[in-house]
Amino acid sequence: MNSTAAPETDSQIPSGFLLYYRAFAGLFMRDVRVLKRQFAPFVVRTIMNPLLFVFVFTYLMPKIGQGFSGAEAAGGFGTIVLPGLVAVGIIFQGIAAVALPLAIEFGSTREIDDRVMSPLPVAFVAIEKVVFSTIQSAMAAAVVFPLAYYIPTTPVHVHVSNWPLLLLIVILAGLVSGALGLVIGTSVQPSQIGLVFSIIVVPVTFFGCVYYPWAKLGKVLWLKYAVLVNPLVYMSEGLRLSLTPDVPLMPTWAVILALLAELFLLGWIGMRGFMRKVLN
């Protein structure tokens, strides 16, 4: 008996949606395997910024009589600063997860060509990167909460008042962060990625309402409206809405609408840049 398997017929070859799904899943699992091999750098990149901030401001400074202490640590830090730290973790993890690999893949070796040869529309290769970065951003957000529980000298109690809103904001924030990473990765030369990160990190963080709610900027009216171009503002405010809605904050509808608008705009710019660099 001939044990050789019969070749696939045309009816057995996946096509259409099934073909795209398998190709998309293949790219996704490839990125998962790469992440497993680079898990230690991923953890360090994810945990370093919130770890240092929580340690210095809620452990070290109270020990020397400064910073958050007593009720202020449990209240001001937990209600205002902690959601901002979660937002910072989301945005920078999302940017790094897309921009840094693109810098390598668009480099001299042109590794991106291997990806675009998959049986997928070229745009879906970029979409897969943004989706994968969103998962990493959600992981970065989840890391911050244990730090806030175990490091401060005074316990910080965090209560999620709206779980559906929290999940929605984390997903939207992750997608926006990935789209921003796509813009950076396709508009900046690979050799300049490090310089761009150093230029972006400080202004985005300090003017992203991380350490203060947006409503407090009413005393500096021009700045209150100038910072609205910063997507981190809406991420910080949205997370505060789901954790501490009693604090004066942006309306929920405004936060969600702004994140959707940022996603559309950054996604459109990033996709155009991706298509241009791939085709060139």
Alpha carbon 171 to chain centroid, angstroms:
9
* pLDDT computed for residue 68 by the predictor: 55
- Phi/psi for 249 (5° steps) reads -140, 175
* pLDDT computed for residue 134 by the predictor: 96
In this prediction, residues 138-147 reach a mean pLDDT of 88
* C-beta separation of 188 from 105 below 8 A: no
* pLDDT computed for residue 74 by the predictor: 47
Highest-confidence range of 12-26, 33-47, 58-72, 221-235, by mean pLDDT? 221-235
pLDDT band for position 6 (cuts 50, 70, 90): very low
* pLDDT computed for residue 181 by the predictor: 94
* pLDDT computed for residue 87 by the predictor: 93
Q: Is residue 103 part of a domain?
A: yes
Q: Is residue 28 part of a domain?
A: yes
Which of 31-40, 243-252, 255-264 is least confident? 243-252
Tell me the C-alpha to C-alpha distance, in Å, between residue 88 and each of 211, 230, 249: 11, 12, 18
Q: Is residue 152 part of a domain?
A: yes
In the predicted model, is pLDDT for residue 126 greater than 80? yes
Tell me the C-alpha to C-alpha distance, in Å, between residue 173 and each of 129, 243, 260: 15, 15, 9
Q: Is residue 11 part of a domain?
A: no
Structural domain total, the chain? 1
Higher pLDDT, 8 or 20: 20
Q: Is residue 148 part of a domain?
A: yes
Q: Is residue 151 part of a domain?
A: yes
Alpha carbon 33 to chain centroid, angstroms:
20
Residue-number span of the structural domain to which 119 is assigned: 16-279
Tell me the C-alpha to C-alpha distance, in Å, between residue 34 and each of 20, 22, 136, 179: 21, 18, 13, 21
In this prediction, residues 91-98 reach a mean pLDDT of 91
Higher pLDDT, 76 or 175: 175
Taking only Cα atoms into account, the Rg of the chain, rounded to an integer number of angstroms, comes to 21
In the predicted model, is pLDDT for residue 10 greater than 50? no
- In the chain, pLDDT over 90 holds for what percent of residues? 40
Tell me the C-alpha to C-alpha distance, in Å, between residue 205 and each of 91, 177, 233, 264: 10, 13, 9, 22
Which of 23-37, 91-105, 130-144, 148-162 is least confident? 148-162
Q: What is the mean pLDDT of the chain?
A: 84
In the predicted model, is pLDDT for residue 11 greater than 60? no
- In the chain, pLDDT over 70 holds for what percent of residues? 88
Q: Is residue 2 part of a domain?
A: no
H/E element, 75: none
Q: Helices in 73-214 by DSSP H: which ranges?
A: 82-105, 112-116, 122-150, 163-187, 193-206
Among the listed residues 34, 39, 210, 177, the one whose alpha carbon sits nearest the alpha carbon of residue 95: 177
Which of 31-45, 51-65, 217-231, 266-280 is least confident? 51-65
Phi-psi region of 14 (alpha: psi -120 to 50; beta: other; left: phi over 0): beta
pLDDT band for position 63 (cuts 50, 70, 90): confident
Q: Is residue 5 part of a domain?
A: no
Cα 243 to Cα 143: distance, rounded to the nearest angstrom: 16
